[in-house]
Amino acid sequence: MLAGTLLAFLPVEAGTKASHPAAAGLTFADRVAYQHAIEEVYWRHRIWPKERPDPKPSLDAVMSQAQLEKKVEDYLRNSQALEDYWHRPITAEQLQAEIDRIAQHSKQPEVLRELFEALGNDPFLIAECLARPALAKRLLASWYAYDRRFHDELRQRAKADLQAHPVIEQMNQTSGTYSEIEFVKSDGLREENSREARHSVRLNNREWDETVQKLGATFSNGHPVDVDAGVPSAKDARITRIKTGVLSALQEDERSYYASAVLSKT
């Protein structure tokens, strides 16, 4: 069992340039109409609670024209922002790859089939009206997350905050969000949560090994133990090498800048 703490500095959401790409030869009205067809499929498959005395309403009763238009505006704006800020316009190859990804990883293939049918099984429309919204949103989030132009001020503030509070005991005195997480290796059996004060996360064998490997790389002086994870003694060695009571350097992911520490291990 590993008990750790996490200090995060969360950036504020950034806007994107309000510009609409005139790509693909589809008018804005066309895109809104196809968005309505897509939402019709999703709404048809949405389960209406049995305890509700009223019948399930139509899509038009729960989603306005303005909401449909905003969905289209958002993905067009996201697409344009990729080109304006990062010079990364979405290509036909990327759209095709996104369609392939959606098809391969769909957990509801029957719904996906209906979505394709709602778009006339037209590869062009599927790419523009189904793949583009998802791809543009994901790519924008990824490029924005690590762009120092937007986050450098926050990064410098977080760095200064850590320098002013260099030990674990001072972590909850910073301007960041302080939290403690307890990682527990679960054997699949039901176990009682032994620590109510901390947020407990139960991990299976694979998740546990990945977590230990990551912590080992962070808290073993940059030299994680290179051993066979399948050998019990090797697993014990990895945990032994993880140092407790040490505050990490400033790190970052797609959501925040953060520092972490391992408080205890058993």
**Contact partners, residue 12, CB within 8 Å, separation at least 6:** none
Please give the residue that has the higher pLDDT: either 217 or 81: 81
Could you tell me if 179 and 79 lie in one domain? no
- Grouping H, G, I as helix, E, B as strand and the rest as coil, residue 195 is coil
Cα separation, 242 vs 21, in Å, equals 50
Question: H-type helices in the chain, by residue range?
Answer: 28-45, 59-62, 65-86, 92-105, 109-118, 123-126, 132-145, 148-164, 205-219, 232-241
Choice among 33-37, 50-54, 166-170, 202-206 with the minimum mean pLDDT: 166-170
The predicted pLDDT at position 235 comes to 53
Q: How many domains does the chain have?
A: 2
Helices (H) and strands (E) in the chain — how many of each?
A: 10, 5
Q: What is the pLDDT of residues 65-85, one digit of tens each?
A: 999 999 999 999 999 999 999
Last residue of a domain, one of 145, 164, 190: 145
Q: Are residues 91 and 199 in the same domain?
A: no
The answer on 184 and 116 residing in a single domain is no
Instruction: With respect to residue 171, please indicate whether it lies within any of the assigned structural domains.
Output: yes
Q: Give the model confidence (pLDDT) of 127-173 as tens digits.
A: 999 999 999 999 999 888 877 787 667 777 877 888 788 888 888 88
Residues 70 and 170 in one domain: no
**Residues 124, 166: one domain?**
no
pLDDT digits (tens, 9 = 90+) for 80-119: 999 999 999 999 999 999 999 999 999 999 999 999 999 9
- Asked if 62 and 131 sit in the same domain, the reply is yes
Is residue 32 a part of any domain in this protein?
A: yes
Sequence letter at residue 68: L
Asked if residue 17 belongs to a domain, the reply is: no
pLDDT of residue 251: 79
Q: Pick the more confident residue, 223 or 40.
A: 40
- Return the pLDDT at 265: 82
Domain extent for 185: 2-12+150-265
Looking at the domain assignment, is residue 163 inside a domain? yes
Condensed to tens digits (0 to 9), the pLDDT of residues 226-259 reads: 444 454 545 556 777 788 888 888 877 767 778 8
pLDDT of amino acid 22: 52
Specify whether 251 is located in the same domain as 174: yes
- Residue 191 belongs to some domain of the structure: yes
Residues 37 and 95 in one domain: yes
| Residue finishing a domain among 145, 173, 205 | 145
Q: What is the pLDDT of residues 24-43, one digit of tens each?
A: 579 999 999 999 999 999 99
Boundary-marking domain end, from 145, 170, 193? 145
Please tell me the distance from the alpha carbon of residue 89 to that of residue 82, in angstroms, as a whole number.
Answer: 6
Establish how many alpha carbons lie within 13 A of residue 225's alpha carbon, considering only the half-sphere containing its beta carbon: 20
